Amino acid sequence: MLWQEVEAEINRIANRFYEDQLPDGSWGYPFETGISSDCYLIILLRMLEINDEELIRSLVNRIVKKQESNGAWKLFYDEGDGNVSTTVEAYYALLFSGYRKRHEPEMLRAKQFILSKGGIQEAHTFTKIMLAITGQYEWPAYFSIPVEVMLLPLSFPVNFFDLSVFGRVNFAPILILADYKYSIKSEQSPDLSDLFIGQNRAFFGDFGLNDDQNLEWHSVLNLIKHGIQSIVDPDQSHEAALKRTEEYMLKRIEPDGTFECFYSATFLMIFALLARGYAKTDPIIRRAVQGLKSMICQIGGNLHAQYTTANVWNTTLISYALQEAGLSPSTKVIQKANQYILSRQQNKYGDWAVHNPHAKPGGWGFSDMNTINPDVDDSTAALRAIRRLAPENAIYRRAWERGMDWVLSMQNSDGGWPAFERNVDKEFLTLLPIEEGQDILIDPSTPDLTGRTLGFLGDCTYLNRHYPMIKRGIKWLLDSQREDGSWFGRWGICYLYGTWAAVTGMRAVGVPHDHPSIQKAVTWLKKTQNPDGGWGESCRSDIEKRYIPLGVSTRTHTAWALDALIAASGDTTPEIERGIRFLAGGEGQEKWIRQYPKGKGMAGAFYIHYHSYDYIWPLLALVHYKKKFF
Residues carrying an active site annotation: 377
Beta bridge partners of 345: 364
- Strand, coil or helix: 56: helix
Beta bridge partners of 32: 609
CB 48 within 8 A of CB 289: yes
Give the chain's count of helices (H) and strands (E): 26, 7
d(CA 31, CA 606): 12
Q: Where are the alpha helices (DSSP H) in 367-494?
A: 376-386, 394-409, 438-441, 447-460, 468-480
For the four alpha carbons of 278, 284, 286 and 288, in that order, the dihedral sign comes to negative
Backbone conformation region of residue 233, classed left if phi is above 0, alpha if psi is from -120 to 50, else beta: beta
Give the Å distances, CA to CA, from 6 to 314, 400, 412, 532.
Answer: 23, 33, 40, 17
- Strand, coil or helix: 607: strand
CB-side neighbour CA atoms (13 Å) of 339: 11
- Strand, coil or helix: 309: coil
d(CA 83, CA 64): 15
CB-side neighbour CA atoms (13 Å) of 601: 19
Q: Where are the alpha helices (DSSP H) in 553-610?
A: 555-568, 574-584, 591-594
- Strand, coil or helix: 362: coil
Nearest-5° Cα angle at 295, 294 to 299: 120
